[in-house]
């Protein structure tokens, strides 16, 4: 079932609702175990950083009751070896109760439109294979191609 959502750029006032979305995702125990005010404070700070300049865009999807049901965050990266910038989608999350209704697809469409307007060469993202979105082929169905010849590496800094 596909619903129509309102997609708009996020504002600092959306931080609490974005924190609720993040806490509803089962993978982030570091956020779900935080007291909600601390979680909101962390999201507010990161959102403030993203909104500080034009190198990031964050969109929210609102349902018919104007509730934030999901969000997407993209970073606009100039690559010296590409003919245009790349948009890296670092986050796309939708409340569990709102999945499968079209919010994620509509958020991706908003980013695609902005990427075209910015003259981007491509968009990229990482989808963890054990996640439901990977198993059901969410991105493949939308025309995304999995880069099977590339490995994704991370370097984690130990923090107290």
The per-residue pLDDT for range 85-123, each reduced to its tens digit, is 999 999 999 998 999 999 999 999 999 999 999 999 999
Q: Which CATH number is associated with domain 6-141? A: 3.40.630.30
Q: Mean pLDDT throughout 30-52? A: 92
Distance separating alpha carbons of residues 156 and 160, to the nearest angstrom? 13
pLDDT value, residue 111: 98
Domain residue ranges in the chain: 6-141
pLDDT of residue 158: 82
Of the chain, the end-to-end C-alpha distance in Å amounts to: 45
**Residue 160: pLDDT above 80?**
no
Decide: 86 and 120 in contact? Cβ < 8 Å.
yes
Asked if residue 102 lies in contact with residue 3, where contact means CB atoms within 8 angstroms, the answer is yes
Q: Inform me whether the pLDDT recorded for 1 exceeds 80.
A: no
pTM: 0.92
pLDDT at 3 over 90: no
Average per-residue pLDDT in the chain?
93
């Amino acid at each position: 079932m596909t619903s129509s959502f309102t997609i708009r750029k996020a504002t600092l006032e959306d931080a609490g609702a974005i924190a609720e979305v993040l806490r509803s995702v089962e993978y982030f125990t570091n956020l779900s175990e935080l007291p909600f005010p601390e979680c909101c404070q962390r999201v507010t700070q990161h959102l403030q950083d993203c909104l500080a300049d034009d190198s990031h865009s964050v969109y929210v999807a609102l349902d018919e009751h104007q509730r934030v049901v999901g969000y997407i965050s993209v970073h606009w990266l100039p690559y010296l070896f590409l003919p245009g910038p790349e948009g890296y989608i670092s986050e796309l999350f939708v409340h569990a109760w709102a999945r499968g209704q079209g919010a994620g697809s509509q958020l991706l469409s908003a980013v695609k439109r902005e990427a075209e307007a910015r003259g981007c060469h491509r968009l990229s993202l990482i989808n963890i294979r054990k996640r439901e979105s990977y198993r059901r082929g969410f991105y493949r169905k939308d025309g995304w191609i999995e880069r099977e010849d590339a490995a994704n590496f991370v370097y984690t800094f130990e923090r107290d």
